[in-house]
């Protein structure tokens, strides 16, 4: 945030040494400069949080005049949310906006497990597909052997939100689907849990 950048040397290595309401005294750890800022009055913005197939209405307090963009992470009272959509008056969708202009924010809960699709190619040209839930920081590697629903398969492709991977690895948080051929009697590196629909216990 621009309020936490030293006006003397431009460093953002800054610590808060006193808070009184919206009056904050700051000290720069680079040059030792001390200064005071008045933080903008927070604005309560409606926020719709997605937990896979379920959505929940809540709100988030953000500083007035702050720019928010798709991909930013905001904190609510009980969740951490990545912004996926910004709606202005007139139902206009934009990639970025200043808090005072925003009608509604849309986001994805980062505390809820990631749900991805696992497609397993069987002999005879059929495909067995599952939805699985995994921790968001779990890594998947092309070439590893996994098991889901009693089927063992080798990961041949990983589809992320941006591209298709034929080699390498990716974290579950950015994965949409994993695909590969069934390998009967192979030993799986790990077993994936089938996603059976929204539950509060998952998040």
pLDDT at 11 over 70: yes
Q: State whether residue 99 is helix, strand or coil.
A: helix
Q: What is the pLDDT of residue 1?
A: 47
How far is the C-alpha of 142 from the C-alpha of 158, rounded, in Å?
Answer: 7
**Domain boundaries, given as residue ranges, for the chain:** 2-38, 42-109, 114-195
Q: What number is the average pLDDT over the span 101-117? A: 95
Considering the segment(s) 114-195 as one domain, its CATH architecture is: Roll (3.10)
Which of 140-144's residues contact partners 24+ apart within 8 Å by CB, and which partners?
140/169, 140/170, 140/171, 140/172, 140/175, 140/178, 141/168, 141/169, 142/166, 142/167, 142/168, 142/169, 143/167, 144/189
Q: What pLDDT band is residue 202 in, cutting at 50, 70 and 90?
A: low
* CA nearest to 97, candidates 124, 69, 138: 69
Q: Is the pTM of this model over 0.95?
A: no
């Amino acid at each position: 945030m621009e309020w936490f950048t030293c006006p003397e040397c431009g460093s953002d290595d800054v610590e808060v040494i006193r808070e009184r309401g919206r009056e904050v005294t700051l000290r720069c750890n680079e040059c030792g400069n001390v200064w005071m800022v008045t933080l903008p009055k927070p604005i309560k913005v409606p926020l719709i949080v997605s937990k896979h197939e379920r959505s929940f209405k809540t709100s988030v307090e953000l500083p007035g005049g702050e720019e928010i963009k798709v991909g930013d992470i905001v904190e609510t009272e009980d969740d951490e949310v990545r912004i996926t959509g910004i709606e202005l008056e007139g139902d206009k969708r934009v990639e970025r906006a200043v808090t005072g202009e925003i009608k509604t924010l849309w986001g994805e809960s980062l505390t809820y497990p990631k749900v991805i699709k696992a497609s397993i190619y069987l002999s005879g040209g059929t495909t067995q597909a599952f939805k699985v839930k995994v921790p968001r920081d779990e890594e998947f590697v092309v070439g590893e052997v996994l098991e889901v629903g009693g089927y063992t398969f080798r990961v041949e492709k990983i589809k992320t939100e941006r591209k298709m991977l034929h080699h390498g690895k990716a974290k579950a948080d950015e994965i949409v689907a994993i695909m590969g051929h069934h390998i009967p009697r192979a030993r799986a590196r790990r077993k994936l849990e089938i996603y059976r629909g929204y539950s509060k216990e998952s998040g």
